[in-house]
Amino acid sequence: MTCCIFCIFVLFQAAIVGYHTRQVLYFGVKNKYCVTCARKPENKNHTCFKNWNGSSSSMEAATIVEGFLTSEEMYNVQYARMIADGDSSVYNSILEARPYKNLTVKKIECRNHMLRNYCNKLKDVATTSVHKEVSNVDRGLHLKMRRILGGRIMRLRTAVTKAIQHRKVEEGEMKEKAEKLRLDIVNGPSHVFGEHLHCKSRGYFCNGPKEDETNYIADLKASGVYHKIMEAVNVLADHSSHLIYDVDSNMVEHYNSVVARFTGGKRINCVQRGSYQMRCAAAVVSHNTSQPFYKLHKTLLKSSPGVYTKRLETRHVAKISKRAERERMKPRARRCLKLTPKAGDSDYGPMAKKPDMEAAMFQSKLEEHMKILQKTRNEIDELERNTRGQSDSPEWFEERRIRLTAS
């Protein structure tokens, strides 16, 4: 998200990037401000760029939902899965909007976001001291264990990433591999801190204790640090069904960096008219084509921008290419919160209220729905098998939508 410094959250841009194509498939800009409307409300004959009246927090959800709703019209495809961070408001909005009649969109959380949150929680444990009323002996042990944890956070993260790489290439169903990954993640702290009781049974962690290795598990448990570590570990392990896909949203972050380059970050006021939307559109072209902009100028205006402009952009593209090659060859080295409702405006956007359908249409829809619910004994047994695990089964979501359940 990029926005101007004097009016944070006055505008918002969001985009949908294809995982395989790595191209921006859809982008949208929400603007809550128009300079002409603000300074001259009586002037009705102008192009107004204000297109959002809801809360700032609902801008992202509304924009992404619009992208899903227009996917069939634009590309004749349905987005079956989305990769995003842990912000559930966008996904909930997509589920409520029902962009596709017979398909429930599945969310896969970004691996990098989950691992970063995991490391941040471990850092909080390593930097949080105990209460002053605790004895000096216990405080000394607690401090020692926190220092040991602080030096092994990256090893704990590496244990997770290596487990993901190992399990994702195994043969078998995704549910089985996700369960094995969950057990690997839970076993990670024991392996890192010197206790290898279950490593051999996991099949690949290690073959047992190493020479001159200290087992810190007993001291970690005595100091209370182990319990806090496992709280963070269990949260990550619960998302093993997402981690097993081993996907991230890096390409979206790359697109956002291109947008920041075209908009000047937060240093330039781009919100008064259509400047911000135009700059975002230019960023999409730059991201998708990776070509100098004089080619776009020539395509649209049927004229060349000039030899000096072309020479300048050619040098810029060559500079970026050389920098990328150097980075590839270089060895790798180791506010106050304002609570606002997440729903959009009830009079605008995907959350807008809709009138009831006519009685005849309602009766027709009712008969169609009853036919869908009527199933044979074999179909009922098959449905029961396919929806075991409930929230882990996309079919369970689909079938639950068309029924009134007790929960």
DSSP assignment of 72-129, as one string?
HHHHS----EEEE-S-HHHHHHHHHH--STT---EEEE-HHHHHHHHHHHHHHHHHPP
* 25 inside domain: yes
| Tens-place pLDDT, residues 255-310 | 999 888 888 877 777 776 778 888 888 889 888 987 777 777 777 778 888 888 88
Q: How confident is the model at residue 2 (pLDDT cuts 50, 70, 90)?
A: very low
pLDDT of residue 27: 93
For residues 126 and 232, membership in a common domain is answered with yes
For residues 95 and 115, membership in a common domain is answered with no
pLDDT of residue 361: 65
* Burial annotation 340-351 (CB, 10 A radius, 16+ → b, else e): eeebbeeeebbb
Tokens representing residue 31 in the block: 């603007």
pLDDT of residue 243: 95
Quote the number of domains for the chain. Answer: 2
For residues 90 and 116, membership in a common domain is answered with no
pLDDT of residue 90: 86
Q: How confident is the model at residue 5 (pLDDT cuts 50, 70, 90)?
A: very low
pLDDT of residue 189: 94
For residues 128 and 239, membership in a common domain is answered with yes
300 or 125: which leads in pLDDT:
125
* 48 inside domain: yes
The amino acid at residue 372 is: I
For residues 116 and 218, membership in a common domain is answered with yes
Boundary residue ending a domain (212, 227, 243): 243
Residue 346 pLDDT more than 70?
no
For residues 48 and 157, membership in a common domain is answered with no
Among the ranges given (95-99, 153-157, 266-270, 324-328), the one the predictor scored with the smallest mean pLDDT: 266-270
Residue 87 pLDDT more than 70?
no
Dmax over Cα atoms in the chain, in whole Å? 82
For residue 276, count CB atoms less than 10 angstroms from its CB and return exposed for 0-12, middle for 13-18, buried for 19 or more.
Answer: buried
For residues 134 and 254, membership in a common domain is answered with no
For residues 140 and 228, membership in a common domain is answered with yes
Section 309-330 average pLDDT: 84
Section 176-193 average pLDDT: 92
The amino acid at residue 347 is: D
275 or 361: which leads in pLDDT:
275
3-state secondary structure at position 71 = helix
Among the ranges given (40-54, 112-126, 247-261), the one the predictor scored with the smallest mean pLDDT: 40-54
Tokens representing residue 9 in the block: 């959250």
* 177 inside domain: yes
For residues 151 and 194, membership in a common domain is answered with yes
Residue 181 pLDDT more than 80?
yes
* 348 inside domain: no
231 or 37: which leads in pLDDT:
231
Number of CB atoms found within 10 A of residue 26's CB: 21
Return all residues near 57 (Cβ < 8 A) that are at least 6 apart: 89, 340, 341, 342
* 56 inside domain: yes
Percent above pLDDT 70 for the chain: 85
Placement of tokens 């020692």 in the chain: 144
d(CA 262, CA 2): 10
Section 327-334 average pLDDT: 76
Residue 341 pLDDT more than 60?
no
For residues 146 and 233, membership in a common domain is answered with yes
Tell me the residue range of the domain where 124 lies: 111-243
* 43 inside domain: yes
* 359 inside domain: no
Boundary residue ending a domain (304, 331, 349): 304
For residues 91 and 147, membership in a common domain is answered with no
* 230 inside domain: yes
For residues 118 and 226, membership in a common domain is answered with yes
pLDDT of residue 136: 61
pLDDT of residue 347: 45
Residue 8 pLDDT more than 50?
no
195 or 341: which leads in pLDDT:
195
71 or 343: which leads in pLDDT:
71
Section 102-114 average pLDDT: 92
Beta bridge partners of 30: 12
Residue 324 pLDDT more than 90?
no
DSSP assignment of 186-239, as one string?
HHHHHHHTT--TTHHHHSSS-SSPPTT----HHHHHHHTHHHHHHHHHHHHHTT
Q: How confident is the model at residue 131 (pLDDT cuts 50, 70, 90)?
A: low
* Mean of the per-residue pLDDT values of the chain: 82
39 or 113: which leads in pLDDT:
113
Q: How confident is the model at residue 208 (pLDDT cuts 50, 70, 90)?
A: confident
Boundary residue ending a domain (276, 304, 332): 304
